Amino acid sequence: MKALRVAVVGATGAVGQEMLRILEERNFPIGALKPLASSRSLGRMVRFKGEDIPVEVLEPSSFKGYDLALFSAGASVSKEFAPYAVSDGCLVIDNSSAFRLEEDIPLIVPEVNPHRIHDVRKRGIIANPNCTTIIAVVPLKPLHDYGKIRRIVAASYQATSGAGAQAMRELEEQVAAYVQGKPLEVKVFPYQIAFNLIPHIDVFLENFYTKEEMKMVWETRKIMEDQTIRVTATCVRVPVFRAHSVALNIETERKITREKAVELLSNFPGVVVQDDPKNRVYPMPLFVAGKDECYVGRVREDISLEHGLNLWVVGDQLRKGAALNAIQIAELLLREGIL
C-alpha cells in the first residue's frame, strides 16, 4: 500500500491529538507526518510511533508535496488554509463547520453515505460532520432504510470535550475548587459547568435555536440525503469529560417494533446495542469514553405515537464524533483509489 504524506492541522488540540493516536492505532500508511499549529505551539513536539516530531507553524506553503491534510483547528483556519492545500494537490478532510453545508462538498459518515466520497473530486475537500450529528445518524440510518423517518426530535447531553481541551480542564478545575471550598472560576463556558447543565451551545439564531441545534437539522438532512425529514433539537452541555449522549424520538412511515429496531441496530456496522433494562444495562459516557462505536439502548416504542420509537445513543465525541470519523473517511479514500 502506498505510504502517504499526511499533514495534521491543529495537531496540538484535543481532536488533533486524537487524530494522531488513531492514525497510529489503525496503522494508517504514513510515509511522512507534518504536525501543524499556530505560532503559539512553536517549539512543541508530538509523539507518533515512538518518535517526537516538532510542530511546525501553519503557513500557506505547508502542504506542498503532501497527499492529505486533516484539519482540526476551527472554521476560520479551514476557510483560510484549506484552499492552499487543495491548490497544492493535497486532499482535505475538514473537521470544522466551514464547508459542511456547501452543496459541492460532501459531508460524510462512512457507515451512512460512503458513496458520496467521489464528490471530493469537485473541490478537493470533504467535510466531517458535527460531532453530535455523527453520533445520532449512525443508528438512525438502518431505521430510516427500513421504515423511512418522517420526524426526529433530539435532545443532546454534550460533554465538555466538545468545546476543546480548555473546556475539559475548566470542568476539572471547578470540581477541584469545589472540593477545596474555593471559588469556581468561569472562563470557557458562560456559566459554571461543574454540577450544572447549560442549555446553550454555540450562538443563538433569530429563530431562538442555537447554531449547534440547527447544525443537527441541516447536517442530518444532508447526510441522510432526504430534505423532507423534519428535525428539531435541544443541545445541552453537561459536566462530563468525554462522550456525548443523545435522546432520540423518531416517527416513521412504516412502524418499527422494539424487536425489529434492536435487530436492525444490532446488524449495522458501527453500532453496539446495550439494551437489557431488567439488568440495568444501557449506554453511559462512563463506559463509552474511548470506544469507537455508537452505543444504543433504552429502545422502546413511543406510547404517544403509533409509528414512534425512542432510543438513547452514546458516542465518544473525540473519536467517532470527530477524529475517528475523519480517519475512516481517509481509509475510504484509500479503498476507492482516490488517494
CB 317 within 8 A of CB 285: no
Q: What is the 3-state secondary structure (H, E, C) of the chain?
A: CCCEEEEEECCCCHHHHHHHHHHHHCCCCEEEEEEEECHHHCCCEEEECCEEEECEECCHHHHCCCCEEEECCCHHHHHHHHHHHHHCCCEEEECCCCCCCCCCCCECCCCCCHHHHHHHHHHCEEECCCHHHHHHHHHHHHHHHHHCEEEEEEEEEECHHHHCHHHHHHHHHHHHHHHCCCCCCCCCCCCCCCCCCECCCCCECCCCCEHHHHHHHHHHHHHHCCCCCEEEEEEEECCCCCCEEEEEEEEECCCCCHHHHHHHHHCCCCEEECCEHHHCECCCHHHHCCCCCEEEEEEEECCCCCCEEEEEEEECCCHHHHHHHHHHHHHHHHHCCCC
Kindly report, residue by residue over 190-219, the tens digit of the pLDDT.
999 999 999 999 999 999 999 999 999 999
**10-34 average pLDDT score:** 96
Strand partners, 313: 246, 296
Whether 327 shows a pLDDT value over 70: the answer reads yes
**278-296 average pLDDT score:** 97
pLDDT at 1: 65
- Percent of the chain past pLDDT 90, that is, above it, reads 98
Among the options 144, 235, 244, 294, which is catalytic? 244
**163-168 average pLDDT score:** 90
Q: What amino acid occupies position 250?
A: I
For this structure, is 144 an active site residue? no
Whether 255 shows a pLDDT value over 70: the answer reads yes
pLDDT at 223: 98
pLDDT at 137: 98
For this structure, is 90 an active site residue? no
Whether 278 shows a pLDDT value over 90: the answer reads yes
**326-339 average pLDDT score:** 97
pLDDT at 165: 83
Whether 143 shows a pLDDT value over 90: the answer reads yes
The grid coordinates listed for 331 are: 481509509
Radius of gyration of the chain (CA): 20
- State the average pLDDT for the chain: 97
Kindly report, residue by residue over 234-248, the tens digit of the pLDDT.
999 999 999 999 999
CB 274 within 8 A of CB 311: no
Please list, in sequence order, all residues whose beta carbon lies within 8 angstroms of the beta carbon of residue 263, skipping any fewer than 6 positions away: none
> Could you give the domains of the chain?
4-129+322-335 (3.40.50.720), 132-316 (3.30.360.10)
Closest CA to 317 of 217, 233, 212, 191: 212
pLDDT at 164: 86
- Percent of the chain past pLDDT 70, that is, above it, reads 100
Whether 286 shows a pLDDT value over 90: the answer reads yes
CB 81 within 8 A of CB 202: no
Among the options 131, 235, 294, 307, which is catalytic? 131
**86-99 average pLDDT score:** 97
Kindly report, residue by residue over 37-68, the tens digit of the pLDDT.
999 998 999 999 999 999 999 999 999 999 99
Whether 110 shows a pLDDT value over 90: the answer reads yes
Q: Exposed/middle/buried for 288, CB within 10 Å: 0-12, 13-18, 19+?
A: buried
